[in-house]
Structures are given as structure tokens and as C-alpha cells.
């Protein structure tokens, strides 16, 4: 297993995981993004960044790679704190969840946040996703029940 920065070509594997995440979150028809657009946003416009967990296997002397997890984030801003990191999505395929990959991905993005000098890292977790809640609480994350999410679609 390798944890690395996303590179051109990974947008297709990441997009498969984004769709799997949408299915897990019971919203499979909500994804309108495409791998091509994601590639532009990650590698040309650089409005977001990502790391991936890639499983490398060799069967009959043939090497194959599969992206089995990812974290995607962007820089946000707090008038109270300054530069922040917003973790938009974090997902590991269910069959790889007990292997420690999620912890490695999360620790890596925390390290990236600290190295980049942000003052805060934010994300959302669905209230019914107890596995994710437990994961974050083990890492001493503050899950704030006071704030409601606002959103407009265009």
C-alpha cells in the first residue's frame, strides 16, 4: 500500500471512489462531477488537492494498481483564524477499512495541514455515520452539534 499525492490519471480512480462514497451516503444520483472536470480542478486550476491510497499487487508477474482510498481538500479562510484547510471528502473502500489505511490517510492530511501553516482543519460527518464519528473522536476531533450547514445550488 502506498500513500501518495494524486497525479494526472488518478482522477478516474478518485471519481470511482467519489461515486462509491455517494452510494454509501445514500445519494448516488447527486454526483454531477466528472473525472475530466476533477482532473482540471486538481491538476490545471489547482483549486483542490488530493492524496490517494494505492494498493499495488503482483499476480503472475503482472503488476496492477488500484486506488482504494482518497482525501480531497482545499484552502478555506476564517475571518477569526485565517488560513484553514477544508477536508471535502475522505473515503476508503469498505473492504480496506480495517487495515489502517484510513488512519494513514487522515494522519497524512493532518501533517499537510500543519506543514502548510493553517490554523484549523474542518470537515463534515453525517450524524448517522457512527463509524466515521468514532474514527474522528479517537483522534480527539471536535464534532460541533451547534452549527447548521447552509447551501445554495446553482
Spatial distance between the Cα atoms of 54 and 14, rounded to a whole number of angstroms: 11
Cα–Cα separations (whole angstroms), residue 127 to 93, 130, 134, 144, 148: 20, 7, 11, 11, 12
136 catalytic, yes or no? yes
Q: Where are the alpha helices (DSSP H) in the chain?
A: 10-24, 35-39, 101-115, 130-138
Pick the closest to residue 14 from 112, 99, 88, 104 (CA basis). 88
Q: In what order do the strands lie in the sheet with 120-122?
A: 2-5, 49-59, 62-78, 82-92, 120-122
From 24, 74, 86, 136, active-site residue: 136
β-strand pairing of 2-5 with 82-92: unpaired
Query: Which residues belong to the active site?
Result: 136
Amino acid at each position: 500500500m502506498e500513500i501518495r499525492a494524486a497525479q494526472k490519471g488518478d482522477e478516474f480512480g478518485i471519481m470511482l471512489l467519489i461515486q462509491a462514497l455517494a452510494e454509501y451516503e445514500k445519494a448516488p444520483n447527486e454526483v454531477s462531477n466528472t473525472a475530466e472536470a476533477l482532473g482540471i480542478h486538481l491538476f490545471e486550476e489547482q483549486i483542490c488537492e488530493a492524496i490517494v491510497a494505492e494498493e499495488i499487487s503482483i499476480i503472475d508477474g503482472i503488476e496492477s494498481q488500484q486506488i482504494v482510498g482518497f482525501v480531497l481538500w482545499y484552502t478555506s479562510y476564517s475571518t477569526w483564524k485565517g488560513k484553514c484547510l477544508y477536508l471535502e471528502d475522505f473515503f476508503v473502500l469498505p473492504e480496506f477499512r480495517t487495515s489502517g489505511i484510513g488512519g494513514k490517510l487522515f494522519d497524512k492530511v493532518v501533517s499537510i495541514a500543519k506543514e502548510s501553516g493553517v490554523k484549523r482543519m474542518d470537515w463534515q460527518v453525517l450524524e448517522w455515520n457512527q463509524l466515521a464519528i468514532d474514527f474522528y473522536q479517537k483522534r480527539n476531533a471536535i464534532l460541533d452539534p451547534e452549527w447548521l450547514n447552509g447551501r445554495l445550488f446553482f
